[in-house]
Structure 1
Amino acid sequence: MTAWLGATALQDPPRVQQDVCARPEPGSAVAEPTELRSRDGVLETDLSVHDEKLPDGTSRYCYLTSDGKPSPTLRVKPGDQLVIHFKNDLVDLDAATPAIDRALAGAPICTAKKPVDPCESGAMTPVSTNLHFHGLTVPPVCHQDDVLKTSIQPDDKPFEYRVRIPDDAAPGLYWYHPHLHGFSKTQVLGGASGALIVEGIERADPSLAGLPERVLVIRDQDLVNPDAQPSKSEPVMSKSQLDNDGDVANSGTGFGKPSKDLSVNFVPVPFPNYPPATLQMKPGERQLWRVLNASAITYLNLALLVGRAPQRVGVVGIDGVPLRFDGSPSPAVQWVNHIGLPPGSRAEFIVEGPPAGVPGLLVTRAVDTGPAGENDPNRALMAITSTADASEPQAVLPARVEPLPPPERPWVGNVAPVRVRKLFFSEQPQDPNDPNSPTKFFMTIDGNEPKPFDPNSDVPDIVATQGDVEDWIIENRSMELHDFHIHQLHFQLLDWSGIAVNEPFLRDTVNVPYYSVRMLKYPSVRLRMDFRDPNVVGTFVYHCHVLEHEDGGMMGRIKVVPRNTATSTVPPTQPTKGEL
C-alpha cells in the first residue's frame, strides 16, 4: 500500500472532478430527461451517484446512467421488474486536503477493513447514500425500499435494487432520491433526484388517450447570487433576515430574497431577476404535464399565466394516483387555476398552449410558510412561446385504451377507521436560553415527550396491522409550515383544522398549517390512512418532507405487522377512536 502511494498518488497530479454534474445556463430551453423504458416486463439499468464542489463553495449531486445521461426518467408498467445496479461514486467534498488526501480524491479506495453488508450498515456519513422510491407501495426491505438500515459506501460494489411494481399499482408520477438520515437535504438540494412513471394513466381517464406528455422536475438549490440586491421591479423590502437554520426567513410579503433558487429540469432560474427557462408549444395544443417538486425545502404554488391571466389547468393525478382510482368518487379531471405542491409532491395536469403570438409563463406564487419558515416568494419559472413548428414532447400517451379493472377493495373513504391516532410537529432551540440557536425538530405521538428521531433504535413509535384503516390527526405546534409524508402508502385528506374538505382522492404528502399565537387551538389535518395493501408489511418511516426538518429529527418509525401475527396495535399512550 505504501509503495503504491509513493509511486502513483504522490507523483501524478490528482484527478479533479469538474463538471461531472454539469448544468444548463439560466434562460436555456427546457430539455426533457432521458427516458428508460421497460422491455418484456423488465427495466434494468446501471445508475451511479456523483458529487462535486463548485468554486463558490456550493456542492452538486447527480445521478448518471452508464453513458453519462443525468437523472433519467424510469418508465415501468404494473407487474414489471425494476432492476438498478447502483454505484456510489461520491467523494467527501468537505474532507481536509493535504497532499496525500488530494492525491486520493476521486481515486479508488484501498482499504483492508472488513466489508460491511450494505443491508445492515446503517452508516451515516457524507459519502454514504441509498435510494428511496417515493410513493411506490412496495415492501420496505433491503434491495427494495428500505431506508433505515440500507447504506451504500463508495468502496461497495454496485448494489442491486430489485423492485417489482405491483400489478395494481396506481398509474402516475413517482420519484427516486436518496434517503440517508442526516444527509437527505444535502444530496437532494444538490440535485440527486429523478422521475419514475408507472404507465397507464390514460386507463383511469380515457380522455387522456393520445395526449403528448412532458416531464418537468422542479428542484431547489443554493442561491447562485446570494449577495445580490432584489430586483428593482420588486417593492422595497427591509433587509433579509436569516432563520435559525441559516435560510432566508419568510418576509410575509410574497417578495424579497428567496431561501433557495429553483430550476426546471436543471435549468436554473436564479434570484434576483429570475430569467425563466424557455419552452415552445404549438398554439392551442393540449399536453399532459407531469410536474414533480423535487425540492429539499421549497414549497410551490404553480400557476400558468397567458397574457398575465391565470389559466385553468385540468388536474388528473396527485402524488402518483389518478383522481378517479381505486373506487374514488372524484371526477376524473378537476379544473383549477393554481396547484400547491409541497416538497416531494407531484401533480399531473392538462395544459393548453397559448394562442399564437401570446406569451405564456409558468410561475410559482408566494407560499406563506409562517413566521419561523423560509421565504418562498413570487417568481417566474418557465416562459412559453407558441409556434407552429414547436417540436413534440418525446412521449405520447397510447391512443388505444384498455380500461382499468374494477377495484378489489372498497374506496378507503367509505371504510370506518379501526382507531384514531394523534401526532404533532414541534420545534425548540437547541439551547433553551438562546432562541437564536439551531433548531431541534420533533414528530411526536400525542401524550409522549418530544424527542428527535433515533436512527440507532429499532423500537417502532407506532405498530399498525396490515388490513386496517386508521385516521391520523396531525397537529402543528410550531410557527412554521410542515409537510407530512409517509412511506409505502397513500391517504385521503378528510379535514383541515376541523373543517371537512371535499378531496375524494389520494395523496402521500400534505401541508399542515402553522400555529399562530392568535389561534385558540393548534391547526391540524385529519387523514384516512390505508394499511390494506400487503406490500406495506414491515418497518418504515413517516416525517416532514422539508428535508432539513427530517434530517434534524422530525421523523417517526412505524411497524406494520401481518394480521395473523398482530397481538396489540395500540400502545398505551395512543388514544383509540372513542377517546378523541
Structure 2
Amino acid sequence: MIVCLRATLAFSVTLCSLSAFSAASDRCPRPAIGGVVREPADLRSVNGVLDANLTIRNSKEPDGSLRYCYFDGKGNEAPTLRVSPGDRVVLHLKNELVDLEGTPSAHAAHAREAVTKSKDPCSSAIMSPIATNLHFHGLTIPPKCHQDEVLHTSIQPGDPPFTYEFQIPADESPGMYWYHPHIHGFAKTELLGGASGAIIVEGTERADKAVAGLAERVFVVRDQDLLYPDAPPSKKESAVPALLLDSDGDTVNTGTGGGRPAKDLSINFVPVPYPEYEPAVIEMKPGEKQLWRVLNASGLTYLNLTLLRDGSAQEVGLISLDGVPMNTNGGPADFVYWTTRLGVPPGSRVEFIVSGPAAGTTEMLVTRTVDTGPGGENDPNRALAVLKPVANASESRVKLDAKPQPLPRSNKQWLGDVAPVRVRKLYFSEKLQDPNNPASADEFYLTPEGETAQMFDMNAKTPNIVVKQGTVEDWIIENRSNEVHAFHIHQLHFLLMESGGGPVDEPYLRDTINVPYHQGNLPDFPAIRVRMDFRDPNIVGTFLYHCHLLDHEDKGMMGSIEVLPADSPRQASKNGLCTGTESDPCSNFNTPPPTK
C-alpha cells in the first residue's frame, strides 16, 4: 500500500438537476436523502476560452443550518469547469451573500465599516462572513489579483462582478482540480455550506492510455453540520463509549470505528446523514468500466474509501493523485495501481477505474474509519452510495477519446532527481485551553523551526518563508500535536521523500498530504519529508501553505511564502537546516536530518 493511502485519506460525490431537488430554500436547493447521484453541469471552453458567470449565494435553513452555493448563468449549481492546457479562463464572480446572523456581530460591523473605506477588492483584505473570493486549488497559476490571490482579494456583496482571468499553463497536468472561497477565518463556514466545485483539465487519456475510451464520472464529496445531531447511534451499530466534544462542538474521535461523526457527508449534494446513513444511488450499466474523478471537498472529514460486494473489498485502478497522473515520472503509458482502499485527506483528489456490478448484484461505496488521533474528529465507518446496475442507465456526458494522441514527454527534470538547495523544517502544534483535555485546542500553529509559534496574521508585512524561483527545497514537516493534520500548499505540487522515519518509493506528485499524529508515549514526533518544486516561473509572488482542516486553518494553522524572481537580489530566508550557500550546500540531502 502506498503511503498516500497509509498516511492520507479521502473521497466521493455527484450532483442533481434543479428539478430533482426537494429544496427548503430556492437560494441553495439540495436533493433528497437516498436520491440518485447526478452529474454537475459542465461549463466548457470554446475556441480556447472559458467565459462564464458565477454567483455565490447563501441561506439559513429552518433547522438553523447554513448553506452556500455557486450558480452559473443558467442556474446550474456548482458547475464543473472544463478546460484544456493553454486555454484562457474568464470568470465573472458576483457576491450575493447576505448577513445570516440576524444580529449585528463584531465581524459584520467591521465588514460594513471596512466596505465604506475600501473601493478596491484587490487590496481590501476584508475577512468577514459576507466576503468572498476564489482559490483555484492545485492549478499552477500566478498568485496575483484577478488570478489566484487570496491574502488581500476580498469581494463584497455591493461590488460589481469581479473578473478572474488567467491562462491554464500549456504544460498543466491533465486531471481534477477545484475551486472554493478562501476567506481567512470563515473558510470552514463557506466550505461546510457547500461552496465548492470541480475543475477538469482535459487530456488524462493522453497521459495514461489505460483510461482511453472510458466513460467519465465526476463526484464531489462534501461534509456539513449534522442534520440529526441529537440522534443516538443506529441500533445496527454496536455500543460505543460516551462521546466527547471538542471546543467547537465537533465529536472527538472515539477510537472505536463507530459513534456519532463530527460531520455528515454528501455525494454531489445527495445527503447521507447520521445515524442511518441511507446511501445515495449511483446508477451504472451492468459491468461498465468507468473513470471516476473524486474530489474530497470536505472542510474537516477524512475519507477512506472502499467498494464492497457481498462484504468483500473490490479492486479499483488508481491512475492520478491531486490532478497529476501517477506516471508523470516517466512510468509506463498505461500505468494503473490496483488497490482495494483509497485514502484522501480534505482537499485532495483521486482518479481511478471502476467496473460496475453485474446485473442482479449491487456494490456499496463506503468510507471506513480513520484514526485521526485522540484530539481529532470522529470519522467512523459509514455507507456513502449503492452502485446499482441499470440496463438503461443514462450515458455519461463525457467519454474519453478512444484513440488519443500521447502527450509529449516533459523536458523538465524529474523532481526526485533534483538536488535541493536547502532543507527546512516546520512543525504543527496546538495550544490547549485545558492541558489535560486533548480536545480543548483553541489555537493552531504551523511554524518554521527556530521561530516562535504564533497564529497566522493576515496583515503581517513579512512572509514566513522566502525562496527563489528556479530552486528546489526539501521540507521536513513534523506533527507535535495529538491529531492528524493535512499539509497543503498553494500554486505547486511536491514529492514525498520520507515518512515514518525512512525513505519511501512513491514517485507521485501531490498538493496535500497527511502528517500522522504524535503519540505521547513515543519520544520522537512523527514527520514527513517532501521535495518542494519552485521551478515554475508562474508561481512568483506570495501565497499560502496551511492545514487543510479548515477549522485549523481559520484558527491560525497557516503561513505565507514568497517566491522571488530567479534574478532577484534578495535572498531566500535562512530558517532551514542548511542555507544552500557555498559553505553549507546541503550536499548530504539524502541523509535524514534529525526529526526532533
Task: Give the structure-1-normalised TM-score.
Answer: 0.92
Amino acid at match of 2:165: R
Aligned residues: 554
- Checking the alignment, whether the CA contact within 8 Å between 1:330 and 1:504 is kept in structure 2 is no
Amino acid at match of 1:521: D
Amino acid at match of 2:216: E
With 261-270 and 565-574 compared, the bigger mean Cα shift is at: 565-574
Aligned match of 1:300:
303
With 73-82 and 421-430 compared, the bigger mean Cα shift is at: 421-430
Question: What aligned pairs does 1:93-242 form with structure 2 within 5 A after superposition?
Answer: 93-96=100-103, 113=116, 115-242=118-245
SS in 2 for 1:237: coil
Aligned match of 2:4:
none
Question: What aligned pairs does 1:469-508 form with structure 2 within 5 A after superposition?
Answer: 469-508=472-511
Judged with a 3 Å threshold, the aligned counterparts in structure 2 of structure 1 residues 516 and 377 are, in CA distance, closer, same or farther, namely same
Judged with a 3 Å threshold, the aligned counterparts in structure 2 of structure 1 residues 411 and 284 are, in CA distance, closer, same or farther, namely same
Q: Deviations over 1:538-572 (max 9, x none)?
A: 10000000000000000000000111114321325
Aligned match of 2:84:
77
Indicate yes or no: 2:277 matched with 1:270: no
Indicate yes or no: 2:400 matched with 1:397: yes
Indicate yes or no: 2:61 matched with 1:58: no
CA positional deviation for 1:332: 1.9
Aligned match of 2:459:
456
Amino acid at match of 1:204: A
Q: Which has the higher contact order (CA 8 A, sep 6+)?
A: 2
CA positional deviation for 1:499: 2.0
Aligned match of 2:8:
none
CA positional deviation for 1:574: 5.2
CA positional deviation for 1:325: 1.5
- Once residues 117 and 504 of structure 2 are traced to their aligned partners in structure 1, the CA distance between those partners, rounded to angstroms, is 55
Q: Deviations over 1:436-486 (max 9, x none)?
A: 755100000111110010001121111111111111110000000000000
CA positional deviation for 1:575: 3.7
Judged with a 3 Å threshold, the aligned counterparts in structure 2 of structure 1 residues 521 and 384 are, in CA distance, closer, same or farther, namely same
Q: Deviations over 1:353-407 (max 9, x none)?
A: 1111111111100000000000000000010111222222211111231111121
Aligned match of 1:565:
568
- Checking the alignment, whether the CA contact within 8 Å between 1:323 and 1:330 is kept in structure 2 is no
- Once residues 573 and 405 of structure 1 are traced to their aligned partners in structure 2, the CA distance between those partners, rounded to angstroms, is 36
Amino acid at match of 2:499: W
CA positional deviation for 1:307: 2.0
SS in 1 for 2:58: strand
Amino acid at match of 2:222: R
Aligned match of 2:290:
287
Question: What aligned pairs does 1:181-580 form with structure 2 within 5 A after superposition?
Answer: 181-325=184-328, 327=330, 332-430=335-433, 438-572=441-575, 575-576=578-579, 577=586, 580=593
- Once residues 556 and 195 of structure 1 are traced to their aligned partners in structure 2, the CA distance between those partners, rounded to angstroms, is 25
- Checking the alignment, whether the CA contact within 8 Å between 1:330 and 1:505 is kept in structure 2 is no
Amino acid at match of 2:463: P
- Once residues 173 and 410 of structure 2 are traced to their aligned partners in structure 1, the CA distance between those partners, rounded to angstroms, is 11
Judged with a 3 Å threshold, the aligned counterparts in structure 2 of structure 1 residues 572 and 426 are, in CA distance, closer, same or farther, namely closer
Amino acid at match of 1:169: E
- Once residues 332 and 188 of structure 2 are traced to their aligned partners in structure 1, the CA distance between those partners, rounded to angstroms, is 37
- Once residues 280 and 461 of structure 1 are traced to their aligned partners in structure 2, the CA distance between those partners, rounded to angstroms, is 48
- Once residues 165 and 577 of structure 2 are traced to their aligned partners in structure 1, the CA distance between those partners, rounded to angstroms, is 36
Unpaired stretches in structure 2, ≥5 consecutive residues? 1-23, 106-111, 580-585
SS in 2 for 1:565: coil
- Checking the alignment, whether the CA contact within 8 Å between 1:171 and 1:321 is kept in structure 2 is yes
Indicate yes or no: 2:96 matched with 1:89: yes
- Once residues 131 and 60 of structure 2 are traced to their aligned partners in structure 1, the CA distance between those partners, rounded to angstroms, is 17
With 356-365 and 236-245 compared, the bigger mean Cα shift is at: 236-245
Amino acid at match of 2:101: D
With 436-445 and 405-414 compared, the bigger mean Cα shift is at: 436-445
CA positional deviation for 1:50: 0.4
Amino acid at match of 2:95: N
- Once residues 260 and 270 of structure 1 are traced to their aligned partners in structure 2, the CA distance between those partners, rounded to angstroms, is 9
CA positional deviation for 1:115: 4.9
Amino acid at match of 2:196: S
Q: Deviations over 1:299-324 (max 9, x none)?
A: 00011112221111000100000001
- Checking the alignment, whether the CA contact within 8 Å between 1:245 and 1:438 is kept in structure 2 is no
Q: Deviations over 1:384-437 (max 9, x none)?
A: 111222222211111231111121211101111111100000001257799775
CA positional deviation for 1:498: 1.5
- Once residues 154 and 530 of structure 1 are traced to their aligned partners in structure 2, the CA distance between those partners, rounded to angstroms, is 37
Amino acid at match of 1:374: E
- Checking the alignment, whether the CA contact within 8 Å between 1:76 and 1:199 is kept in structure 2 is yes
Judged with a 3 Å threshold, the aligned counterparts in structure 2 of structure 1 residues 394 and 573 are, in CA distance, closer, same or farther, namely closer
Aligned match of 1:4:
none
Aligned match of 2:52:
45
Task: Give the structure-2-normalised TM-score.
Answer: 0.90
SS in 2 for 1:113: helix
SS in 1 for 2:553: helix
Judged with a 3 Å threshold, the aligned counterparts in structure 2 of structure 1 residues 433 and 314 are, in CA distance, closer, same or farther, namely closer
Amino acid at match of 2:392: D
SS in 2 for 1:410: coil
- Once residues 93 and 328 of structure 1 are traced to their aligned partners in structure 2, the CA distance between those partners, rounded to angstroms, is 51
- Once residues 551 and 283 of structure 2 are traced to their aligned partners in structure 1, the CA distance between those partners, rounded to angstroms, is 36
The CA RMSD over aligned residues, in Å, is 2.0
Q: Deviations over 1:26-70 (max 9, x none)?
A: 100001100111110000100000000111211000001122210
With 56-65 and 436-445 compared, the bigger mean Cα shift is at: 436-445
Judged with a 3 Å threshold, the aligned counterparts in structure 2 of structure 1 residues 358 and 89 are, in CA distance, closer, same or farther, namely same
- Checking the alignment, whether the CA contact within 8 Å between 2:221 and 2:297 is kept in structure 1 is yes
Judged with a 3 Å threshold, the aligned counterparts in structure 2 of structure 1 residues 410 and 330 are, in CA distance, closer, same or farther, namely farther
- Once residues 493 and 331 of structure 1 are traced to their aligned partners in structure 2, the CA distance between those partners, rounded to angstroms, is 23
